[in-house]
Amino acid sequence: MFTLAEENYLKNIYHLQTENSEGVSTNLIAESLQTKPSSVTDMVKKLAAKNMLLHKPYKGVSLTEKGKKVASNIIRKHRLWEVFLVEKLNFQWDEVHEIAEQLEHIQSDELIKRMDAFLDFPDFDPHGDPIPDENGNIKVTEKKLLSELKKNQRGVIVGVKESGSDFLKFLDKRKINIGTKIKVLGKEFFDGSMIIQVRNEQFFISKKIAKNLFIQISEHV
């Protein structure tokens, strides 16, 4: 149905669209896909002809409903595969992206259906990003940055903002993962640092780290 290049364009445009709200520019797509704006123009024409997106020349592009569905399905596959790699094959969560980048293009609805069941229908990938369902719907949770929490608030780590390899390793060393429960023990005003409790241990968390962790706040405590 779609070539590899087409799928990658759709996926990237989808991401850019959710980040930028307005119509996505040719230059932005080119940058995100590591290619040239002229190449983008060509591909955008092709995808517009397939009714995957609307293209007003010199204005931006925006995905059609069809286009969004195709794109979110690729993202669904990517994130399900990431769960598989971490949960079943014991990869670290910072090692799985490249491989999922390939696996997301495998074409088989049945495979994804069974993989989803095999993984017990996860809602989030190992980085805390939501996994769209078959219709492209995403489970939204109200998440705050750790830095916004107050003393004595509790919650569960549900995601990271920017997942650089160094950062992921920092967390991994301390066995801090998606799903890890935390409690804020104290906060310093002068540098924004925090002390948090994780299991039986206490960790010092710099402002930089605290601004990079998404927390789902526990309601009843």
Least distance to a copy of itself from the beta carbon of 97, Å?
A: 12
85 binds, among a copy of itself, DNA, none (CB under 5 to 8 A by kind): a copy of itself
Nearer to a copy of itself, 45 or 114 (CB): 114
Among 201, 177, 189, smallest CA distance to 147 is for 189
Does residue number 90 form part of the binding site for a copy of itself (CB under 8 A)? yes
**105 in helix, strand or coil?**
coil
Least distance to DNA from the beta carbon of 32, Å?
A: 12
27 binds, among DNA, a copy of itself, none (CB under 5 to 8 A by kind): DNA
> In angstroms, rounded to a whole number, what is the distance separating the alpha carbons of residues 73 and 76?
5
**Contact assessment for residue 149 and residue 215, using Cβ atoms and an 8 Å cutoff:** yes
Q: Which stretch binds DNA (CB under 7 A): 31-39, 102-110, 125-133, 210-218?
A: 31-39
Does residue number 74 form part of the binding site for a copy of itself (CB under 8 A)? no
Task: For residue 65, give every residue at least 6 positions away whose Cβ sits within 8 Å of its Cβ, in sequence order, or none.
Answer: none
Task: For residue 17, give every residue at least 6 positions away whose Cβ sits within 8 Å of its Cβ, in sequence order, or none.
Answer: 24, 62, 63
Q: Which residue has the tokens 């924004």?
A: 192
Provide the token pair at 123: 């809602």
Q: Which stretch binds a copy of itself (CB under 8 A): 19-27, 35-43, 102-110, 148-156?
A: 102-110
Does residue number 107 form part of the binding site for a copy of itself (CB under 8 A)? yes
Q: Using CB under 8 A, list all residues that contact a copy of itself.
A: 85, 88-91, 95, 98-99, 102-103, 106-108, 110-111, 114-115, 118
